[in-house]
Structure 1
Amino acid sequence: MRRSLILRVTVAALVAGAVLITVLLGVVTVTIRESVFSDKRDAVLADAMERVRTAQAVLDAATVTSPDEVAFLAQTQVTSIRGSSAGAGGVGVALRRSGSESSSVAINDLSTDSAMDALVTHDITQAVEDAPAGTLAWRPTQVPASIGTQGGSGQEPGVLVGTRLSLPVAGQYDVYVLYTLAPEQRLVTVASRAVITAGVGFALMTVLGVWTVTARVLRPVRQTSLAAQRLASGTLSERIEVRGEDELAGLATSFNTMAASLQAQIERYAALSTVQRLFVSDVSHELRTPLTTIRMASDQLYAARTEIEDPLARRSAELLNDQVDRFQTMLTDLLEISRIDSGRVELRVSQEDLREVVRRVLSAVEVHVTASGAQVHLDLGDQPATAQMDVTRVERIVRNLVTNAIEHAEGSVIDVTVATSSNAVALRVRDHGVGMSPDVVAKVFDRFYRAEPSRRRTLGGTGLGLSIALEDAHLHGGTLTAWGWPADGSSFLLVLPRVLGEDGTPGTLTGAPPLEVVPPDAPAVARTSAGHTSAGQWPGPVSRRTGQPGKSARRLNSTLPDPAVRRRGPLQPLDGGAGQDGARPQEGRPGQGEGQ
């Protein structure tokens, strides 16, 4: 019901209508019952008064002297009252000696039915005693089935009317006339059923009307919602038909205006993006030819540098060779970004062990590890970390993560951990250098992002390395997430599915990841203050277009540290010495994350 406004409005109308109709039915039923009962009571009292007057006139005119004659006369009047009151609903008559009568002559109590004895209670008797002379006392009662008009074993409502009769010789006697209200009860029942039926019908008509009206009113809103969904999915030409001039028509007009503006802006940005991609692609390709020539000339000069006598010229040849290498790396990264943006990337899939990829990368960068003074500690696990992958791309991811850690480790320990699960393999590279703030973590995968542009870099870098690594992870259906804390280092986690889709399409990650991005030796304050990514969930999605990690991927882990979890692998660490050219990264920098 929370998802349907029509249903909520209809249910609300139904509840309100049900309450209103229930109250109305109660009021109408009570009013009908009281009105019918009041009319019947007045008619019964009038009839009883008439019967008693007639009987009293007969008794007053009679000349009797003996008790037997009085009894016969009384029996005759009781029978007469019973017969004459039948038209008004009379069903029984009883005659009882008045409690205040002291005459020596008395006759037996009389009644037209033995069931009348139980109906003449002390209450009605006392009411007759207290009533002024010539007036009637009455009480509502239940008429037994034996003397009622409906028969059966049940009871029916009635009125018992009492007053006094003066018998010759015998004195004062109380006469009670019983009237049934069964016809009136049937009338009230029929009227109540009719009112209830009408109320239920009215409620159903109200529900149907509310449903119909609400559906018609909300139809443009639903159409607007569907149009917004199609617009969000990329159908920029989506528009809504404008009908009338009311508020809903104004909504449709506003939506169409917004859609037209969005379409114009998006098409403009798309055109600019296309021009930008084409420019980068064309420039990158055009630069390859002159760069090749420069590369050849640089190699010749570098190879003959020992024969150059001028130290300045010799040093220039070395610098030229280094800068050409860096230029070529940048050009390669730009070409790769261009291919990724154009969607012209295909994976060359093979079955590989992630541990062997890590070993090859560490062997290739061993000289840089030694130069930086860092130490690499490996934990490759005991189980093979085999998975379907494009080795070149995965090796590039690992190289980017390791060189990024070397650049920012500040000569400290670098932990490289490989773990596996039933459907995924994972690599975590953790350094203990300057670390990253949460703001830097949120932008670390952006293209050309550098947390500190003025920082000296011993391994170069274009600011595209982590962005390309992220795209390579996505091409495999994997994730690449980052964590960092100022002055306590940073951690990058790569998770890849073991099996890719058909024809090298991305695989699927399910279940818990083999590792968490937050290392077990992270400080408690970092975990408590910054939140964490649950070990039972995959890190959040990352935008492929912007390279920014999703919100959950950027959150920091807050599980309490467990030093016992940190293990040292069987492989020997790559111990290093002094930095290259005696240079060491500067101390006290606030973060890292520029990418290689």
Structure 2
Amino acid sequence: MSEPPQTRTGPRPPRRPDTPVRAVRRSLATRMALMATVAGVILIVVLLNAVNSRIANAVYEDRKDTVLVDAWERVTIAQQAFDDSSATTTDEVTSVVEDEVADIRQSSSGAGVVGVVMKRSPQESAPQIINDVSTGEVPLSLVSDELRDKVADGADGKQYYEWVTIPDTAGEVPGLVVGSRVSLPVAGTYEMYIVYSLAPEERVIERTTQTVFIAGTGFLLILILGVWALTWRVLIPIRRTSLAAQRLAAGRLNERLVVQGDDEIAALSRSFNDMAASLESQIEAWENLSKVEKLFVSDVSHELRTPLASIRLASEQIWAAREEIEDPFAARSVEILMREVDRFEEMLSDLLEISRIDSGRVQLRAEDADLVAVLRGVLDLVAVHIEAKGSEIRVDAPAEPVVAEVDTTRVERILRNLVVNALEHAEGSPIDITVAAGEDSVAVRVRDHGVGMSPDVVKKVFDRFYRADPSRRRTLGGTGLGLSISLEDASLHGGTITAWGWPADGASFLLVLPRSLGPGGAPGTYTLPGPLDVVPDDAPGVARAATRRGGAAGEASAAPGGTLAPAPASRRSEVVRESGQQADARDGEQAAGPRRVTVVGPGDAPSARTPEDSGGRGRSEGRR
């Protein structure tokens, strides 16, 4: 889903609510706390495993030593009983063994014994055999074959053990099986296995693990809070520096930081103060120089008006008597004098206008005007230049009036500058002028198919006195202030001028103005991107990003995506030309000479056509 349109001027839209990711990115203290959390969790897990492993090993080793000693005593007592027994038959031996096993089980329950198992040794060959004996609580499967092999192959009087898992009512608990060989009367060698439970030790280890986990969690919370508080405290001077930098950028050049101590933060504050002082002095110097320049331009412009008036009066007197001049060189000099006086007066008017704009004493004379009618008036004014340059002007305008609240004089000046600029660089190729209207804005696009502009030129085309190619000869005069003044006039309305161009593919200038001004003639607002796109339909794909938007601040931006189709023109629209005749007199006009200004009506071909489409007029490469 596309985002809602935004207005060109007015208050900035509210900032989007912070998501968790944006909050983490915007806060160094939060990132440090998060890093401390991750590091603390890893540390606690490692510490818990290490401590738990060491404690478990220590507890189990101590318990093993105790179990081995206890088992040795039990086996010794049982062997003594077997040696002292007078049993001579298998049943008597079985009875003695069962009694001894039961006695061991009952007497050693406090030591953790949960069962005793007696098995015949695999190497025993005596003919008398008694059955394997075990207490009912312990399954015979606890005694593994590996342990039996160790006991059978081991020496007499040696103990062998194995860690096992003992089934329990609550699950499973760790245990230890200790095996030794004993000699029975008549039956020979048997293996005695005593099974010990380590449930108490397991409970001790679990409590220890819980204690370590609780302590680690508390340590982690303290670590997180400590890191966050420390980071927050350390960042206070940095936040102050950031706020001071924002105030400095907003124009408060006297902004300074309080320097405390000699650490890195104090060095940062001193560096900021030095930078602010340097900026203040340089900006003051530039402002003073700018004031001197503006005052110089204003004074010179006003002072030149008096001698210019005298020169014009004298030149007009000479021009009125030009019929009496017999010398052809003198007559030619009079013509050049009048032309240059006109040009000088135009240049002086531009300088005076720039002076008035810089002084801030400009007031719009707002009225409702039809931009199509204003455009026709401008084309009438420059009709002589249109005929001289040989370019065909193709106007594409809607049938209904395009009415907006504007200062007609300033809008006429904007359109005249754009049209004259297009004539200067079209080199005889067609010029397409499109007028469109939106709900809250109106637009005029002037598109030529001449030498075009490079993207670098587009970025500077609204700068004062800028000439892309100083060696290029201008045939229609100009001071390099026309587009700058046009930009200022558009900004006074709350509008904008956008430029696009590409070498050898022509250039396009788009004027967008709000339909209504603000209270008291203040700049109006409109919804971006406006009713027209600055990039024409026939522009190369690679050139669609080479735009520049001129506004109140002259900022740069990319062209709006998508170009709206030009609005159709009315069949009743007048064909603007020097003779003032109507469009239905085409045949007579063709007989008299080529038509330079046409209106594109509904159903006709689009106005954005290349020079090749219009007859293959050649063009030379160059820059504006």
Name the TM-score class by shorter chain.
0.7 to 0.9
Deviation of 1:493 after TM superposition, in Å, equals: 1.9
Deviation of 1:578 after TM superposition, in Å, equals: 13
The residue type paired with residue 87 of structure 1 is G
Q: Counterparts of 1:9 and 1:372 in 2: how far apart (Å)?
A: 69
Q: Does 2:181 correspond to 1:157?
A: no
The residue type paired with residue 229 of structure 1 is Q
Deviation of 1:453 after TM superposition, in Å, equals: 4.7
1:517 alignment partner, one of 512, 534, 544: 534
CA contact under 8 A between 1:380 and 1:569: conserved in structure 2? yes
Decide which moves more: 301-310 or 103-112.
Answer: 301-310
Deviation of 1:306 after TM superposition, in Å, equals: 5.0
Map 1:484-503 to 2 at 5 A: 484-503=501-520
Q: Does 2:225 correspond to 1:208?
A: yes
Map 1:67-78 to 2 at 5 A: 67-78=90-101
Deviation of 1:219 after TM superposition, in Å, equals: 2.9
The residue type paired with residue 41 of structure 1 is K
User: How many aligned residue pairs are there?
Assistant: 564
Three-state SS of the structure 1 residue aligned to 2:435 is strand
TM-align CA RMSD: 3.5
Q: Counterparts of 1:460 and 1:64 in 2: how far apart (Å)?
A: 139
Q: Does 2:497 correspond to 1:480?
A: yes
- 1:223 is matched with 240
Q: Counterparts of 1:74 and 1:87 in 2: how far apart (Å)?
A: 21
- 1:415 is matched with 432
Q: Counterparts of 1:9 and 1:114 in 2: how far apart (Å)?
A: 57
Deviation of 1:119 after TM superposition, in Å, equals: 3.0
Deviation of 1:388 after TM superposition, in Å, equals: 2.9
The residue type paired with residue 270 of structure 1 is E
Deviation of 1:509 after TM superposition, in Å, equals: 4.1
Deviation of 1:471 after TM superposition, in Å, equals: 1.0
Write out per-residue CA displacement over residues 325-363 of structure 1, whole angstroms, 9 at most, x where no aligned residue.
Answer: 333333322222122212222323333322221111111
Q: Could you say if the C-alpha distance between residues 104 and 114 of structure 1 is closer, same or farther in structure 2, counting changes exceeding 3 Å? A: farther
Q: Could you say if the C-alpha distance between residues 114 and 40 of structure 1 is closer, same or farther in structure 2, counting changes exceeding 3 Å? A: closer
Three-state SS of the structure 1 residue aligned to 2:453 is coil
Write out per-residue CA displacement over residues 531-563 of structure 1, whole angstroms, 9 at most, x where no aligned residue.
Answer: 525xxxxx5544757x6x62647xxx999x9xx
- 1:60 is matched with 83
- 1:367 is matched with 384
The residue type paired with residue 42 of structure 1 is D
Q: Does 2:550 correspond to 1:550?
A: no
- 1:131 is matched with 154
- 2:354 is matched with 337
Three-state SS of the structure 2 residue aligned to 1:144 is strand
Q: Counterparts of 1:362 and 1:342 in 2: how far apart (Å)?
A: 31
CA contact under 8 A between 1:436 and 1:590: conserved in structure 2? no
Q: Does 2:212 correspond to 1:199?
A: no
Decide which moves more: 169-178 or 224-233.
Answer: 169-178
Write out per-residue CA displacement over residues 391-447 of structure 1, whole angstroms, 9 at most, x where no aligned residue.
Answer: 221111001111222233333322222233444322222233343344433332222
Flag structure 2 segments of 5+ consecutive residues without an equivalent: 1-23, 578-588, 597-617
Map 1:333-482 to 2 at 5 A: 333-382=350-399, 384-453=401-470, 455-482=472-499
The residue type paired with residue 339 of structure 1 is R
Q: Does 2:99 correspond to 1:82?
A: no
Q: Does 2:545 correspond to 1:532?
A: yes
Q: Counterparts of 1:543 and 1:512 in 2: how far apart (Å)?
A: 13
Give the TM-score of the pair, scaled to structure 2: 0.80
Three-state SS of the structure 2 residue aligned to 1:418 is strand
Q: Counterparts of 1:189 and 1:558 in 2: how far apart (Å)?
A: 66
Q: Counterparts of 2:576 and 2:502 in 1: how far apart (Å)?
A: 25
Q: Could you say if the C-alpha distance between residues 368 and 197 of structure 1 is closer, same or farther in structure 2, counting changes exceeding 3 Å? A: same
Q: Percent identity over the alignment? A: 54
Q: Counterparts of 2:452 and 2:110 in 1: how far apart (Å)?
A: 106
Flag structure 1 segments of 5+ consecutive residues without an equivalent: 146-151, 534-538, 580-586
CA contact under 8 A between 2:397 and 2:569: conserved in structure 1? no
Map 1:242-391 to 2 at 5 A: 242-288=259-305, 291-292=308-309, 299=316, 302-303=319-320, 320-382=337-399, 384-391=401-408
CA contact under 8 A between 2:398 and 2:568: conserved in structure 1? no
Decide which moves more: 41-50 or 297-306.
Answer: 297-306
Deviation of 1:259 after TM superposition, in Å, equals: 0.8
Three-state SS of the structure 2 residue aligned to 1:162 is strand
- 2:251 is matched with 234
The residue type paired with residue 194 of structure 2 is V
Decide which moves more: 325-334 or 154-163.
Answer: 325-334
- 1:43 is matched with 66
Q: Does 2:198 correspond to 1:181?
A: yes
- 2:133 is matched with 110
Give the TM-score of the pair, scaled to structure 1: 0.83
Write out per-residue CA displacement over residues 135-167 of structure 1, whole angstroms, 9 at most, x where no aligned residue.
Answer: 22222223333xxxxxx4422211122222222
Three-state SS of the structure 2 residue aligned to 1:327 is helix
